[in-house]
Amino acid sequence: MERVRFAPSPTGHLHIGGARTALFNYLYAKRTGGKFLLRIEDTDLNRSTEESEKVIIEGLKWLGINWDEGIEVGGEHGPYRSTERVDIYNPYVEKLLEEGKAYLCYCSEEELEREREEALKKGEMPRYSGKCRHLTKEDRERLEKEGRKPVVRFRVPNNEPIIIEDLVRGRVEFNSNDIGDFIIVKSDGIPVYNFAVTIDDYLMEITTVIRGEEHLSNTPRQILIYKALGFDVPKFAHVSLILGKDRTKMSKRHGSTWVEQYKDAGYLPEAINNFLALLGWSPEGEEEIFSMSELENIFDINRVSKNPAVFDIDKLNYINGIYIRKSELDKIVDLAIPHLIKAGFIDEDFVKENREWISKVVDAVRGGLSYVGEIVNHVGIFFGEEVKLEDDEAKEVLKQEHIPALLDEFKNILLETETVTKENAKEIMNEIKNRTGAKGKALFMPVRVSVTGQVHGPELVNILEILGKDLLIKRIDYVRQNLL
Ligand code: GLU
């Protein structure tokens, strides 16, 4: 059975790229009937925080990328946080030391820095010189007396080809000669990522490691550790970087890069997943809109491209718009309310009394939304007694000769109407037509502009129902007195 994992370092937010890696792992597990694990790699003590772990976990849950085993969920291979596994790593470090496959290195930061600079000056790739490779017991005792704390270095074998048959990139070859002896345990006794990840993936019985391309250069080191310990090497799939539209690495400059930012703006998790799935993977056929369960059935790692994926916000907006229109209205209303409150259109008390009215507003405008937060730019027409003409086009509409008479009849009909509903709004329009003779554009435009100030917007019958009799009359009066 396939076992895959997402192994974020809790050093920041859940990035779009991280979410995509998690999603690909999740979908791979679902598609193959395997298990998906969540492990937290917090070996970088300076940068890891509990807050970040929380944010990442919340982001995954929000997306519905649920894991079968790992943090919070538990399982047979725990603990699932690296810093809680130090005792588990130690015997493997001892084994490598005993077998001479690793050694203690006492070089100080300054010495290493000097070596690095010298190498760079000579135009060579800086890598560890191997100075501590052959220390005797006496050497070690002397260095320890000086108060030096050792690191553990992996003894990289000479001239060994390291080959990865990558599920995404195909065959990738390295040679051990390009890798200097690397640190596996820091002087504080905490193993570095490359070591911890190898032991963890082995003990957690991970069969396929799916992760970002930025880790490809780590993989040969990990393979050397697998081999030194006699472990089977898992399969690897290194998924390409995500680029901005200008084809540079996706960063803040290209817009929001964290999942929470999209959540806060009012993107739907289904849409984000759909969009992320298409960042690098392409289905057979033309269809691009897939629910999570559809993705679970059709995702195929062999159809993941090794070319970089380009993050196209317009495409995300397009997909999200589709999901906003498909969603239960109530769900969109729930998402819209905080935005409407924040923008000052409504407050908590108003929400309690007028949820149904708010629903109608949301329903009237959701067709034009790319993300729910955008709603604040579309609902101004539903609030206030005054009418502000948006542009010259709107002003032109009200300059027509028949407008005063039309508005007077419109008001008369409203006075004769008990309440305005979507259904009788059509009759009201008909009645204006009968009484004034105006029809088509000459009828609809003046009505629209006089009650909203705009020539575009939601469907007129929706607008009339939402504004309601009293407000419509107030606006007609306002226009009559101030704008004609
Ligand atoms: N902890 C690593 C990161 O957050 C992931 C390592 C891996 O997937 O092997 O980049």
pLDDT for 320 equals 98
pLDDT class for 255, splitting at 50, 70, 90?
Answer: confident
Q: Model confidence over 424-482: pLDDT tens digits?
A: 999 999 999 999 999 999 999 999 999 999 999 999 999 999 999 999 999 999 999 99
Q: What is the mean pLDDT of residues 263-289?
A: 97
pLDDT exceeds 90 at position 304? yes
pLDDT for 484 equals 85
pLDDT exceeds 90 at position 89? yes
pLDDT class for 413, splitting at 50, 70, 90?
Answer: very high
The average confidence (pLDDT) of the chain is 96
- How far apart are the CA of 301 and the centre of ligand 1, in A? 19
Q: And the tokens for 451?
A: 């009650």
pLDDT for 126 equals 86
Q: What is the mean pLDDT of residues 70-80?
A: 97
Q: What percent of the chain has pLDDT over 70?
A: 100
pLDDT exceeds 90 at position 54? yes
Whether 8 lines ligand 1, by a CB cut-off of 6 Å, is yes
Return all residues near 61 (Cβ < 8 A) that are at least 6 apart.
none
Atom of ligand 1 nearest to the CA of 218: 9
- How far apart are the CA of 13 and the centre of ligand 1, in A? 14
Q: What is the Cα–Cα distance from 360 to 338, expressed in whole angstroms?
A: 16
Q: Which domains does the chain have, with CATH numbers?
A: 85-239 (3.40.50.620), 252-327 (1.10.1160.10), 328-370 (no CATH), 384-482 (1.10.10.350)
Atom of ligand 1 nearest to the CA of 6: 8
- How far apart are the CA of 27 and the centre of ligand 1, in A? 18
pLDDT exceeds 90 at position 251? no
pLDDT class for 253, splitting at 50, 70, 90?
Answer: confident
Probe residue for ligand 1, chosen from 3, 37, 41 as the CB with the greatest number of ligand atoms within 8 Å:
41
Q: CA separation (Å) from 228 to 83, 96, 135, 400?
A: 23, 8, 21, 87
pLDDT for 104 equals 97
Q: Which burial class, exposed, middle or buried, applies to 128 when counting CB atoms under 10 A from its CB (0-12, 13-18, 19+)?
A: buried
Task: Kindly report the number of other CB atoms within 10 A of residue 83's CB atom.
Answer: 16
pLDDT class for 39, splitting at 50, 70, 90?
Answer: very high
pLDDT for 249 equals 87
Q: Model confidence over 150-175: pLDDT tens digits?
A: 999 999 999 999 999 999 999 999 99
Q: How would you write 101-153 as a 3-class SS string?
A: CEEEECCCHHHHHHHHHHHHHCCCCCCCCCCCCCCCHHHHHHHHHCCCCCEEE
pLDDT for 357 equals 98
Probe residue for ligand 1, chosen from 193, 201, 223, 226 as the CB with the greatest number of ligand atoms within 8 Å:
193
Choose among 96, 82, 15: nearest CA to 42. Answer: 82
pLDDT class for 137, splitting at 50, 70, 90?
Answer: very high
Task: Kindly report the number of other CB atoms within 10 A of residue 265's CB atom.
Answer: 15
Q: What is the Cα–Cα distance from 378 to 401, expressed in whole angstroms?
A: 30
Query: What single-letter amino acid sits at 408?
Result: D
pLDDT exceeds 90 at position 214? yes
pLDDT for 363 equals 98
Backbone angles phi, psi at 99, to 5 degrees: -85, 5
pLDDT class for 147, splitting at 50, 70, 90?
Answer: very high
Helices (runs of H) and strands (runs of E) counted in the chain: 18, 12
